[in-house]
Amino acid sequence: MLKLAPVPSDPFALRRRTGELAEGAARLARDIEAATVAGVLADADRAAVRRGTTTAFGQMEPRPVDWFTLEDADDDTRDWYPRGLTCAPDDGSEAFIASWCWKPELATEERGIRLTFLDPGSGRYRHVLAVTGRPDGGYSPIEARAGGVARCRDHLYVADATCGLRVFDLRQILDLRSVQDGTGDRNRIGRRDGGYHAYGHRYILPQCDAWRPAVPGARFSFASVDRTAEPDLLVCGESVDRSGETGRLARWRLASDGTLAHRDGTVAAEDAYRLPAGRIQGAVSHGDTWYFSRAGTGTVRGDLLVGQAGEEPEARAYPFGPEGLTVREPGRLLWSITEHPRRRALFAVPL
């Protein structure tokens, strides 16, 4: 294992690429009534089990101090895979949000990205389909495999290895039942034959903005927010699975409203680091300490790497298939989500 070492931050300068995304999202919001995050949670149609039975932890000791297991259909599916997890700050807006990528075993049309909103108080949750809106009022799935996810205020950042960062406004969650009875055809997407369809999802969330690396080379696999910094910092980095190679990560300042603090559509990274190991699936900084989730295999548990810049991190036992990381201040807990079918759980360990 290597030390977490500084590297040049210039390759991680970002350039805004809004295009028609904001106009398309605004048009959909004019046609379809918006719902709040609290409203989506109140209408949740699935139930996670707190500290339910799971094989995600294997013989891990000590075991996580808290966790949720998902319904069988979500635990078993091989069409959707969890990639990231984020939460709101300690401001009373209770919600975990998990990102999933569409990766079916059999070739089929792209369904893109879904986001799961889970109430940690009740365990109730619901899936929301992310979409690309068009100025003509149409919409389609996002043709990308989602990476990690990070929430700051009303803005949600989803990492995309090919396109950089996709941005969503949580004030634009749109309720299809506000314009029709039911949720449309489970096998269709978009406005067709006088109806609104989203593969059976009641709610859609249109992408409203995008940021890409100003120069080629940087890729984003995971995302998180460091809320101990002043101002908050967005953290994104690269997952590398090639033997003997490690990725990099960088951090950017966030404005008070949760947007990237940019000037004329460009933003420089505050700092950047070479990761201490390969197969890093998630990372978050909290104060002077860094936390990294490192994947094992389907039969070998992952690791939680903990350390400070300039040090070789300590490896701690972690579940199978750990993905993105988020810190929830109540209880000072580090939360993550596991990806493997029949071994899926949201779980927490102490910081």
- Give the dihedral sign, CA 74/77/80/83: positive
Phi, psi of 194 (to 5 degrees): 80, 5
CATH number for the domain including 221? 2.115.10
Integer Cα distance of 30 and 157 in angstroms: 23
How many CA atoms within 13 Å lie on the side-chain side of 129?
Answer: 28
The token duo for 325 is 């990381």
Nearest to 133 by CA among 35, 32, 27, 30: 27
Helix residue spans in the chain (DSSP H): 21-31, 37-42, 72-76
Q: pLDDT value at position 216?
A: 86
Q: pLDDT value at position 243?
A: 81
Q: pLDDT value at position 48?
A: 98
Q: pLDDT value at position 111?
A: 93
Integer Cα distance of 179 and 193 in angstroms: 14
Nearest to 281 by CA among 148, 153, 154, 155: 148
Q: pLDDT value at position 91?
A: 53
Q: pLDDT value at position 55?
A: 95
Q: pLDDT value at position 94?
A: 77
Pairing of strands 66-69, 345-350: antiparallel
Domain range spanning residue 255?
5-350
Is the pTM for the entire model greater than 0.85? yes
| pLDDT digit string, tens, across residues 266-286 | 999 999 999 999 999 999 999
Integer Cα distance of 135 and 140 in angstroms: 12
Q: pLDDT value at position 242?
A: 86
Measured between alpha carbons, how far is residue 71 from residues 49, 253, 343 in Å? Answer: 8, 37, 12
> Residue length, the chain?
351
Q: pLDDT value at position 92?
A: 56
Q: pLDDT value at position 299?
A: 79
Residue with tokens 């070739």: 107
Nearest to 204 by CA among 126, 146, 152, 145: 126
Domain count along the chain: 1
Residues (pLDDT < 70) of the chain are: 90-93, 297-298
Distance between terminal CA atoms of the chain? 21
